[in-house]
Amino acid sequence: MSSKEQITRLASLAGITINGNKPYDIQVHNEKFYQRVLSQGSLGLGESYMDAWWDAEQLDETFHKFLGANLDKKIISSRIIFEILKAKFLNMQSLTRSKKVAEEHYDLGNDFYEHMLGKRMQYTCGYWKKAKTLEKAQEDKLDLICKKLQLKKGETVLELGSGWGQFAKFAAERYGVEVTSYNISKEQVKYSKEKAGNLPIIFLEQDYRTATGTFDKVVSIGMCEHVGYKNYKTFFEIMHRCLKPNGLCLVHTIGKDISVRTTDPWIAKYIFPNSMLPSVKQLSTAAEGLFVLEDWHNLDTDYDKTLMEWYHNFEKNWSKFKEQYGERFYRMWKYYLLSCAGLFRARRGQLWQIVFSKDGLPGGYRSLR
């Protein structure tokens, strides 16, 4: 069976027709596409899209169908095996290697991210229970986290991974707390300091593993995806060490239903170097003996909506960045946002907010939704 016949057959299992007339069907422009995908798996699929070898009118739905049918598990390339072996023998999220994602992704340009993420500058999933707009969904997400942490005026908060500093700013303004944030992205820390004004916030351009002091509450929003399975125990030990007795900590992270030691090869090469998504087992094992689990909330379908809003903003503002980044970057970013939307739509990715207490909250913990 030829590579074209094999790929055509696999696509049909997901209801996708090669060169068909439905918006999620794949339109092939280069016949080399078939062998490239068959030999290189997800890396070949993504790179061939970046090279304009194929298109789909509704790419997010293409991936919804593709991942819903588990087609990614049916094409195992040598690249996957290489990444698994590398992750086994190396700590891909060591102090040195962890800086790569900041330099290549988060330091891309604050202006670019402002136009994509919107006013709240939140690069994590919004909370769409009542929200109708991206800005409201992100504000509701920040408020939900503050309420889950039971923040009180005058308390101190340790934040591991601060993004563009908007949680710290929101918590300090709305709840009157003092925040110390750790972040390895030079551009994000610079932006955060400029926006914080005179609020009681300290932004440190340092790795989370250097955190010191004791705090009433600890929070990590969207950083656990960069911690790595070899460092989960250290991650929880740091939160435990820095948390006062009876304190609460919250981890907001994308997760997977199965335990892995590496990430998708295309994502690792072009979007989030040295990242990986944790599983329930990996996180609960790392927290065992350190914390009492108080709440585990899955908001995964909200990420589909968030990603589509980011994509619409990206498309609307692309003309401002076209000359700076070029066509291949455009196709790469479009592929990234829409394939991830398809991932959550297919329920292959999860988004968790997990609340832990250091000693078991006296009187119990009331879950918020």
Q: Reply yes or no on whether 340 is catalytic.
A: yes
Give me the sign of the Cα torsion angle 68, 70, 71, 77: positive
Gap between the Cα atoms of 162 and 192, Å rounded:
8
List all residues 6 or more positions away from 132 whose beta carbon is below 8 Å from its beta carbon.
Answer: none
Q: Read off the DSSP letter of residue 288.
A: T
Return d(Cα 137, Cα 128) in angstroms, integer: 5
What is the side-by-side strand order in the sheet with 215-221? 201-204, 178-182, 156-160, 215-221, 243-255, 350-357, 292-298
Q: Copy the structure tokens of residue 53.
A: 């070898």
Residue 5: which residues within 8 A CB-CB, separation 6 or more?
A: none
| Contact (CB, 8 A) for 54 and 29 | yes
Pairing of strands 201-204, 215-221: unpaired
SS3 category, 244: strand
Of 163, 335, 169, the closest CA to residue 252 belongs to 163
Q: Which of 125, 224, 249, 340 is flagged as catalytic?
A: 340
Helical residues (DSSP H) of the chain, grouped into ranges: 3-13, 33-50, 59-68, 78-89, 99-101, 110-117, 134-148, 166-175, 186-196, 232-242, 265-270, 280-287, 300-317, 322-345
Closest C-alpha to 247, from 93, 338, 120, 362: 362
Residues annotated as catalytic are: 340
